[in-house]
Structure 1
Amino acid sequence: MQMTDFCDHLYNESTDGYIQILKLDDENNSGERTIKIYNTKNDGLRDIVEELHKKEDVFLAPNTMYIPKRRVENIRQFRALFQDIDCESMGLEKAETVYMIWIMHYEGKIPKPTMVTDSGRGVHLYWRIQNAPFGALNTWQELQDYIYYNLKHLGADKKATDGARVLRLPGTINSKCDANCEVLYIDNDVEYSMYELREEYLNYKPKTHQLKMQQTKKIDNKVISNRFFNSYSLHMERANDLETLCRLRKYEMTGYRNMAVHCFAYWKGIYVRDNYELENIVIEFNNAFTEPLKETEVQAVLRCIPKAIDKFIAYEQGLRSGERKRVSKGMRDKEGYWYKNETLIDKLGITSKEQKYMKTIIGLDEKYDRKNEKRRADRRNENGLTNKQQELQDLKNKVESMKDQGYSLRSIAKDLNISLGKVQRVLKK
């Protein structure tokens, strides 16, 4: 019943994609534990979890994948926000921790969980959401980090802020403490919208507020909802730009490898919080170079990333929680690694031709070229005419139509409130 209730809460007929379940088996002769992986669609999920009832160390990924390979970049649907609270490490009892979480909800600091499970040594929290595609990653990550930031004093695990994270399945056993994992609380009447949660908890304001703030020069801590990028989505697009750059150069990055690996690891780390998974992604990226960096050099880069991500979360979520932050024009006051476009273009040797394929890493010349191109496009409609040309064309159509109906040129001029000479000129064109 517990396993069925858990599955029914997260997955229904709207579920699309693969749900992954992991079962850690006993140690082999070399002392390593093997992993049995199940990938199933929603209609086969309950049969698998029944098979795993009362088994040890079983984990499930709340979000689904579009292919049977569990990675953030493969997410098909976001089904829930979640947190892994290791309260015992903080000297807190589970009941005490859940009580404190509910108090925080009543104080308006976090949304009310829709499900709470006992993980053996702590509790797992779930907030069921209206399913959303991979394109909602930055919103999901912002909300996930917001909840983590507000619960880390209770033992929230930063690794569990990863979109491809697995959590212990209720109805199974945690072998580390020989304890049953079970559902403690469930509310099937609540399903959140991520965008409503963002408006309520992430301190967003429309972009017009930014213009007003600049005009009045008043200090405000509201997070600006830029229609292009915010801090989270910017990092994701920068990682995509870097991969585009490597493809353009056919991965001939000699002279730029260290900077490329450093930036890629950090930008990817904003979303991939599992250090082991991030390491694999970065190593794959480095190995694609025609001359890869040495493994020791890659590991040196990776060692700096977790602390930088901690600083990024603290800064961004502090801002969303209403803390006053000072940011200079060069963004030197922001936490984490922030590079201006000019710096990236210089450090990576990006040419003006390569910038034309980028979304975010562009210089002033390319920026102005795009603005001018947009203005030129905006000046012409679907007929290829400017506003003035379209007005004249519409006027000519009216004049010709009235003339065909037998109106004299003078009466046309009078009815359209224009001069006789203009009517004559229009007909000559």
Structure 2
Amino acid sequence: MNCSNAKDILLDDINNLEVIHSKSKGYITLASKKEQKFTQWHYKINELENKYHELIDNKVNVYISHNTFYKPQRRIENIKELNAIFIDIDCYNTNYTKEAVRFFIEKDLNGIIPNPTMLIDSGRGLYYVLKLESVPSKALPLWYAIQRYIYNQLKEFGADAKALDPTRVLRATGTINSKTQTEVKIIDYDGYTYTLKEIQENYLPELKEKKQKSKGRPKKVISLFNEYSLYHARLNDLIKICELRSYDMEGCREVTLFLYRYFTCCFMEDEVQALECTLELNKQFVKPLMEYEVVKHTKSAETAYNGKKYKFKNSTLIDLLGITEEEQKYLKSIIGKNEKYIRNNLRRQENRRNEHGLTNREQEKQDRIYKILELKNKGLNQSEIARNIGISRQAVSKILKSL
């Protein structure tokens, strides 16, 4: 990770946008913070490239998202592309200097966590960033499991537990951190692009799905990975219900917002961000609640998250939200016994089909037709074909007529 003079010169010409977003197709969030007021804008890469330097040049406290969104809304259910793993290291809260943390990442943690694509001096701390080959939001559970794993290796050095959510914005390189009056800049650049699978196999092999030989408790990391998958599915289902009802949630607004805030807390592990996302969801309702009502009616979700009190059954969620069997067809996890039975049947049927989409019986019939045509082309009559294959002449005649 030590940079030569040539590489140091190169670093001056590199920024977050070029490294992370050169192939992005979703909305990128650019944000600024001034006098405690946080403002954000959303751009596609073709809109942002021409004005990026203009927007960030000599600007104080400017932030950029590393992942992108389907809509111009920075919410977890809108994530389109996962482009990076990132850890915000607040080493100023520890006894370690930035130089010491940089050394430990390079030396002591070599082989334990991946070498960062970028190490950024954020002012009072560092950003550890791994550039990824973009993957869609369905990879979020694995993304989050890796994010948490790397956080656990870096928390001794001040890694921020509240900066792990995939919607996070980080300070844009080339801008000024007002707290230190210093420029945010890349201090190490490796240039390597990782895949999630590569990181999983090389650093988190316990996430591979294996049959457990012993009857003992499963490894914690597997359990966490499954939990992230469930919480992510629950969040997506809540949004899908809102979409199916055109955001007309009157009669179950409070419970929808409560569940959304609870599952967002569980998945993102960030109570402040969870509330912000919940308030944003409420604004989309045909008849939204007042902001103070949202805070009041969903406050217990935060309490429940801290105590991990609620383990909602599907039947409970279906009753709470009045989910119909028709709506369940579009959901991933919140489904009743009937829908589960239907899906299991379909899955069994699909498993019985080969790579051509045929069942064993259908494939045998197809093979028989090919054999009959092959023998006919060789000049055999129907009786000879029947004896060769082991079926009646009438059956051969019927097949040839159908063709």
> Shorter-chain TM-score: what band?
0.7 to 0.9
Give the whole-Å Cα distance in 1 for the aligned partners of 2:240 and 2:369: 49
What stretches of structure 2 of length at least 5 have no aligned partner?
1-8
CA apart distance, 1:197: 0.7
Give the whole-Å Cα distance in 2 for the aligned partners of 1:8 and 1:299: 35
Aligned to 2:321: 348
Give the whole-Å Cα distance in 1 for the aligned partners of 2:326 and 2:70: 34
CA apart distance, 1:99: 3.0
**Between the two proteins, what is the percent identity of the paired residues?**
37
In the alignment, which of 138, 155, 158 is matched to residue 155 of structure 1?
Answer: 158
CA apart distance, 1:196: 0.9
Aligned to 2:101: 97
CA apart distance, 1:265: 1.5
SS in 1 for 2:311: coil
In the alignment, which of 1, 11, 19 is matched to residue 10 of structure 1?
Answer: 19
CA apart distance, 1:351: 3.7
Letter in 2 for 1:97: V
What pairs up with 1:121-132 in 2 under 5 angstroms?
121-132=124-135
Letter in 2 for 1:201: Y
1:268 matched to 2:264: yes
- What TM-score do you get using the length of structure 1 for normalisation? 0.72
SS in 2 for 1:160: coil
SS in 2 for 1:299: helix
Aligned to 2:342: 369
CA apart distance, 1:233: 3.2
- Cα deviation 1:231-288 (Å, max 9, x = unaligned): 3233222222223334445656566444322221133345556655543431243455
Give the whole-Å Cα distance in 1 for the aligned partners of 2:80 and 2:330: 26
CA apart distance, 1:347: 3.3
SS in 2 for 1:158: coil
Give the whole-Å Cα distance in 2 for the aligned partners of 1:197 and 1:249: 40
What is the CA RMSD across the aligned residues, in angstroms?
A: 4.1
- Whether contact under 8 Å (1:10, 1:80) holds in the other structure is no
Aligned to 2:281: 285
CA apart distance, 1:52: 4.3
- Whether contact under 8 Å (1:241, 1:359) holds in the other structure is yes
Q: How many equivalent pairs are there?
A: 389
Give the whole-Å Cα distance in 2 for the aligned partners of 1:349 and 1:12: 41
What pairs up with 1:121-270 in 2 under 5 angstroms?
121-188=124-191, 190-207=192-209, 209-210=210-211, 213=213, 217=215, 219-221=217-219, 230-249=226-245, 253=249, 256-269=252-265
- Whether contact under 8 Å (1:10, 1:79) holds in the other structure is no
- CA shift in 2, pair 1:235/1:392, >3 Å: same
Aligned to 1:314: none
- Whether contact under 8 Å (1:174, 1:181) holds in the other structure is yes
- CA shift in 2, pair 1:117/1:46, >3 Å: farther
- What TM-score do you get using the length of structure 2 for normalisation? 0.76
Aligned to 1:427: 397
CA apart distance, 1:349: 3.5
Give the whole-Å Cα distance in 1 for the aligned partners of 2:24 and 2:249: 41
Give the whole-Å Cα distance in 2 for the aligned partners of 1:384 and 1:123: 52
What stretches of structure 1 of length at least 5 have no aligned partner?
312-334
Letter in 1 for 2:83: R
SS in 2 for 1:105: coil
Give the whole-Å Cα distance in 2 for the aligned partners of 1:423 and 1:3: 82
Letter in 2 for 1:87: C
